Amino acid sequence: MTTELNATHGCCHHAKARSEPEAVRADVPSYAPAPRAARMDLGEMTGIEGQQVQLGSDDAMGYPADGEGPARRVTLSPFRMDATAVTNAQFAQFVKDTGYLTDAERFGWSFVFYALVHPKAIQSVQHQSAVALAPWWIPVKGACWHSPDGPGSLLVERFDHPVVHVSWNDATAFAAWAGKKLPTEAQWEASARGGLVNATYPWGDELTPLGEHRCNIWQGQFPQVNTADDGYLGTAPARSFEPNAYGLYNMVGNVWEWCADWWSPSWHIPENAQTRCDPKGPATGTERVIRGGSYLCHASHCHRYRLSARSFNAPDSSTGHMGFRCCAPQ
């Protein structure tokens, strides 16, 4: 097993190229949609009207190499978006119904932020899989969605938190079972903006208006000291903080969220029907888009908890700060 670091984004995440999994998956399993009674427990969804929305940004605080620009008008058809990221309780229902094994479970390990590794998991660290340029990421044998800090950690008091250690493959499998899908990157950003134009965050341009924390990100000096002024060292409950104007929670911070699109820093730049009308991203690629930033983001090293910020990871990658939410047609 080898691990590769996305050098420009490694402060927040990594991409891992895995080999010799414990069980080989030809592709993502497909599941019949959950029974109607079960789907009723899979979270509130908010209707998003069809609209022309400005996506992206030309702001100087952005990362041009990530393809945050240009600011552009995009037309979207109506859709519905989950009010929150998928929670541990919801994912547990999926696993109970299908017997699904996540990529982290099949490969036997996942990455945990060093300060969150459970004391009983120290002996499970796989030093040979460590990331030299991001030593705060600890490869822990047995870390997975139901043991998020490694062996010995439990979901007690975290059932309402976003599920983590889920890959794009895992998120897609859940969405199919739930009768939903992953949002396109355009749907995700339009939802996160909540009708605001040119705003930096889902609530406006000031990170902490009147001194109030509006999202779960890193406070202090990364990666040594997190003062947790926002109340959290790791993930926060999926309904923490005030929702945006569309009633959606934690669209920035807390956990990165998988999108349906293949990653490209340039595909969206040309003005044509594909990029400006219900865009779905490139037809092929090697990494998938993630949006929103996480509890590990800080302006000093990863100012990617802004509305226009974007990043990526390999479809089979999993970490303790990546989750997802789903969408569906109107």
**Structure confidence at residue 13 (pLDDT):** 52
Residue 138 lies in a domain: no
Name the residue with tokens 């139901």: 146
Domain containing residue 278: CATH number:
3.90.1580.10
- Among candidate residues 53, 104, 20, 112, the one with its CA nearest the CA of residue 279: 53
138 near 125, Cβ under 8 Å?
Answer: yes
**Structure confidence at residue 24 (pLDDT):** 40
Residues 326, 174: Cα–Cα separation, whole Å: 9
**Structure confidence at residue 31 (pLDDT):** 77
- Digits of tens for pLDDT over the chain (330 positions)? 334 434 345 555 554 545 444 444 445 667 777 765 555 567 799 999 999 999 999 988 889 999 999 999 999 999 999 999 999 999 999 999 999 999 999 999 999 999 999 999 998 898 777 788 889 999 999 999 999 999 999 999 999 999 999 999 999 999 999 999 999 999 999 999 999 999 999 999 999 999 999 999 999 999 999 999 999 999 999 999 999 999 999 999 999 999 999 999 999 999 999 999 999 999 999 999 999 999 999 988 889 999 999 999 999 999 999 999 999 999
Residue 259 lies in a domain: yes
Residue 164 lies in a domain: yes
User: For residue 136, what is the DSSP state?
Assistant: T
**Structure confidence at residue 146 (pLDDT):** 98
Residue 1 lies in a domain: no
Residue 184 lies in a domain: yes
Residue 16 lies in a domain: no
Residue 114 lies in a domain: no
**Structure confidence at residue 6 (pLDDT):** 44
**Structure confidence at residue 127 (pLDDT):** 77
Residues 18, 27: Cα–Cα separation, whole Å: 15
Q: Which two tokens stand for residue 250?
A: 């934690």
77 near 152, Cβ under 8 Å?
Answer: no
**Structure confidence at residue 28 (pLDDT):** 60
Please give the residue range of the domain that contains residue 191: 40-100+159-329
The count of domains in the chain is 1
Residue 14 lies in a domain: no
Specify the 3-state DSSP secondary structure of 68.
coil
Nearest-5° angle of CA 298, CA 299, CA 304? Answer: 80
Find all residues with CB under 8 Å of 273, minimum gap 6, and list them: none
Specify the 3-state DSSP secondary structure of 95.
helix
**Structure confidence at residue 61 (pLDDT):** 84
- Among candidate residues 262, 256, 286, the one with its CA nearest the CA of residue 17: 286
**Structure confidence at residue 20 (pLDDT):** 47
